[in-house]
């Protein structure tokens, strides 16, 4: 069972990838393009050129998970656009919004940690 928690580090690959790539191809992109270690336990999120699907790559200590979500209608409402090849870090709440084809613009999300005032 794959579960997203606030403690996960989630990285969005800004540029689309070829969805014919499997685990080894996406792990190679993590190393060469994103300059990240695919064995680090971070979630890597990729999209295709048409933005009609998402792939998530995760190493859990025993092996890789490769999850694919193809939208039955429409495409992603929001995806970052950047001139850099470096990934963008998001939190699990943001990923859940993206997976349901929502937009992160103007979404009020409270901080993950708040101090308790006496």
Per-residue pLDDT at 6: 78
Tell me the three-class secondary structure of the chain, residue by residue.
Answer: CCCCCCCCCEEECCCCCCCCCCHHHHHHHHHHCCCCCCCCCCEEEEECCCCCEEEEEEECCCCEEEEEEECCCCCCCCCCCCCCCCCEEECHHHHHHHHCCCCCCCCCCCCCCCCCCC
Per-residue pLDDT of the chain (118 residues), as tens digits, is: 677 787 889 999 999 999 999 999 999 999 999 999 999 999 999 999 999 999 999 999 999 999 999 999 999 988 888 766 789 999 888 898 998 888 888 777 777 666 777 6
pTM (2 decimals)? 0.87
Per-residue pLDDT at 112: 66
């Amino acid at each position: 069972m794959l579960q997203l928690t606030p403690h996960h580090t989630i990285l969005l690959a800004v540029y689309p990838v070829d969805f014919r790539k499997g685990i080894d191809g996406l792990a190679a992109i993590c190393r060469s393009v994103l300059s990240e270690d695919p064995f680090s336990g971070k979630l890597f999120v990729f999209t295709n050129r048409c933005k009609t699907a998402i792939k998530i790559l995760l190493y859990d200590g025993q092996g890789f998970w490769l999850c694919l979500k193809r939208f039955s209608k429409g495409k992603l409402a929001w995806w970052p656009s950047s001139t850099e090849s470096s990934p963008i870090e998001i939190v699990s709440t943001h990923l859940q919004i993206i997976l349901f084809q929502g937009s992160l613009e103007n979404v009020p999300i409270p901080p993950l940690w708040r101090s308790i005032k006496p």
